[in-house]
Amino acid sequence: MPHQQPKIILGIETSCDETSAAVLQMANNGVQILSNIVASSQDLQAKYGGVVPEQAAREQLASIIPVIKEALSEAFPLHPKPSALVDAIAVTQGPGLIGSLLVGVESAKVLAKVWDKALVPVNHLLGHFYANWITDSQSSIVNSLWKKPEEENYKLSTINHPPSFPILGLLVSGGHTDLILMTDHGKYQYLGGTRDDAAGEAFDKGARLLGLPYPGGPQIAKLAETGNPNTFKLPRPMIDSDNLDFSFSGLKTSISNMVYGISEKIDNEASSSLRDKQLTINEKQDLAASIQEAIVDVLVAKTIRAGQTYGVRHIMLAGGVAANRKLAERLTEVARMKIPHVEIHIPLVNLCTDNAAYIAAAAFFNYHPTDPLKLQANPNLSLSR
Ligand code: KG4
Ligand code: ZN
C-alpha cells in the first residue's frame, strides 16, 4: 500500500540515556515542533561517571509511556484522542545501547500496530543532522519535562533556514565523529571519521581526569570560559594527515600525563592525597580551555579542508558537541576567511543533544515506512565508510 506523505509525525528516541518523544508537523520552511519531551537519566549516570547500560535501559522502561503521553497531550492539549491526529510514528532503530533501543523500538511497533499508523525507522546518526531542518521560530519553545529550569535554549548560528544540497555534515557526539557529504535526503558519501574515541568522548574523558561529572562537554566548556588555552599545550592529533579521519584517544593520555605532572609537583611540595583534588581552580580552568581548544582546532581544520575539497556552500553541525560555543565561533571565523559565502548551520542547542524531534524530522524527509512486525533494533547501524 503506497503511503501518503505525512503531515504529523510522532518521534521516539531511546538510543542511550535519554527517553524522548516529540510531535512535529510539516511547515512551509522546514518542520515545526509541537512538543518535544526529554527525560534524562543523566543525573543517575553522573553518579557512576558514565552510562551503565542496564540502568539506562531500566530508566527507559520507566519513562517511555509517560513521555509519549506527555508529548501527545502537549501537542494537542484540547483533543480527547491526540493519537488520532498523528499520521506516522518514527523511531530510532540504532545505533545505540541494545537494551535502551529495544524499549523505543518495541513501544513504537506496538503503537503502530494498535493505532494503525505507518512506522518509519530512523538511523540515529543521520537523524542528528535533521535538527538543522527544524528552523521554525516555534521551535525555540522546546518543551522539556525533566530538564533543569536553568538550562537555556539558544542558537549558535545566525542562519535560520534549512541547508541546501550539497551539504557537508559534521556529526560530533558522545559516540561518533563523522564527516559526510550529503547530496540529497538519505543520499550521502562518508568522507571520514574517528579511528578511536569520538570528540564527545574526548571531552568526557578529559572532564573525568579533571574530576568533573559526566557528561563532561558542558562542564569543560563552562570552565574553559575563564581559562587560558595556552598555558598547557596539548597535541592536535591527525590535524595534518592527508585524509578526513580523526583520532582523539591520544589526547586522553596527554591530558592524563599533564594532570599527573601537575599533581606530582604538588605531591612533592605539599604531600597531599587525591590527585584530581590537588589541581587549583586556575589549573583546572586552563586545562579545560586547552582540552577544548585542541578538540576544536582539529574539528575545524578537517571540516574546513573538507569544505574546500568538495566546494560546498553549506556546512551543518550535529550532535551534542555541536552545542559547544567555541566550536561554533571558530568554525564560523575560519570559514569566513577560507571559504567565504559558506553558510554554517548549527541546530538550537537543545536540539543538538539526543531528542526525538530530529528523529521525527528525519522521517519527514526520508519517509520509508516498514512492517511493524518485522522491524528490529540494530545497535550497530552506522553511517558506513
Ligand atoms: O549527541 P549526544 O547527546 O549523544 C550521543 O548520541 O552521543 O552527545 C553527547 C555528547 C557528550 O559527550 C557531551 O559531553 C557532549 O555531547 N556535549 C558537549 C557539549 N554539550 C554536550 N561537548 C562540548 N561542549 C558542549 N557544550
Ligand atoms: Zn546522539
Q: Is the CB of 354 under 6 A from ligand 1?
A: yes
Q: Is the CB of 221 under 6 A from ligand 1?
A: yes
User: pLDDT value at position 268?
Assistant: 53
Q: Which of 321, 351, 352, 354 to mutate to test the pocket of ligand 1 (most atoms within 8 A of CB)?
A: 321
Question: Quick check: bond before 166 cis, omega within 30?
Answer: yes
DSSP element (H, E) containing 188? strand 187-193
- CA–CA distance, 166 with 169 (Å, rounded to integer): 10
Q: Is the CB of 174 under 6 A from ligand 1?
A: yes
Closest protein CA for atom 10 of ligand 1: 174
Confidence of residue 145 (pLDDT cuts 50, 70, 90): very low
Write the burial class of residue 82 (CB in 10 Å: 0-12 exposed, 13-18 middle, 19+ buried).
Answer: buried
Confidence of residue 274 (pLDDT cuts 50, 70, 90): very low
**Ligand 1 atom showing the smallest separation from residue 203 Cα:** 14
Q: Is the CB of 323 under 6 A from ligand 1?
A: yes
- CA–CA distance, 128 with 215 (Å, rounded to integer): 18
Q: Which of 18, 42, 151, 203 to mutate to test the pocket of ligand 1 (most atoms within 8 A of CB)?
A: 203
Q: Is the CB of 94 under 6 A from ligand 1?
A: no
Q: Is the CB of 204 under 6 A from ligand 1?
A: yes
DSSP state of 183: E
Distance 128 CA to ligand 2 centre (A): 6
* Close Cβ partners of 257 (under 8 Å, ≥ 6 residues apart): none
- 33-60 pLDDT, tens digit per residue, is 999 999 877 666 666 677 788 888 999 9
User: pLDDT value at position 140?
Assistant: 44
Q: Which of 108, 117, 133 is nearest to 1 (CA)?
A: 117
Angle formed at CA 33 by CA 30 and CA 34, multiple of 5 degrees: 135
Q: Is the CB of 95 under 6 A from ligand 1?
A: no
Closest protein CA for atom 13 of ligand 1: 217
Distance 113 CA to ligand 1 centre (A): 34
Closest protein CA for atom 7 of ligand 1: 174
Q: Is the CB of 206 under 6 A from ligand 1?
A: no
User: pLDDT value at position 159?
Assistant: 82
- 223-267 pLDDT, tens digit per residue, is 999 999 999 999 999 999 999 999 999 999 999 888 887 766 655
Q: What is the mean pLDDT of the chain?
A: 89
- 305-355 pLDDT, tens digit per residue, is 999 999 999 999 999 999 999 999 999 999 999 999 999 999 988 899 999
Q: Is the CB of 353 under 6 A from ligand 1?
A: yes
> Could you tell me what percent of the chain has a pLDDT over 70?
88
Task: Give the pTM.
Answer: 0.92
- Residue 110 — φ and ψ, nearest 5°? -65, -45
**Ligand 1 atom showing the smallest separation from residue 216 Cα:** 14
- CA–CA distance, 307 with 189 (Å, rounded to integer): 14
Confidence of residue 160 (pLDDT cuts 50, 70, 90): confident
- 78-107 pLDDT, tens digit per residue, is 999 999 999 999 999 999 999 999 999 999
Q: Which of 193, 292, 296 is nearest to 247 (CA)?
A: 193
